[in-house]
Amino acid sequence: MKFNVTVKPGAKLTKVEMVGPRELNVWVHAPPHEGRANEAVIDALADYWGVAKSTLQIVAGHQGKRKVVEKL
């Protein structure tokens, strides 16, 4: 299942908010530098859904704030 994710890097807190059926906003503390924010997004979503990080992958938007994340 694929989800559209809007990432807000550099936030004070890490949180995930569902805004639509397959649409999420994710705030992460990590900066958007050298893939740190992408890793933090995967960590946050894994915690939110209670799944292993290996079941999630970013399939589009690696360098943008809007990403497509696939949950296997």
Note the pLDDT of residue 15: 97
Each residue's pLDDT tens digit, 10-68: 999 999 999 999 999 999 999 999 999 999 999 999 999 999 999 999 999 999 999 99
Q: What is the pTM of this model?
A: 0.95
pLDDT at 1: 96
pLDDT score recorded for residue 52: 98
Domains along the sequence of the chain with CATH:
2-71 (3.30.1200.10)
Q: Give the burial string for 51-71 (b: 16+ CB within 10 Å, else e).
A: eeeeebebeebeeeeebebee
Spatial contact of 37 and 31, defined as CB atoms under 8 Å apart: yes
Residue 69 CA to its chain's centroid (Å): 7
The pLDDT value given to residue 56: 98
What is the per-residue pLDDT for 21? 95
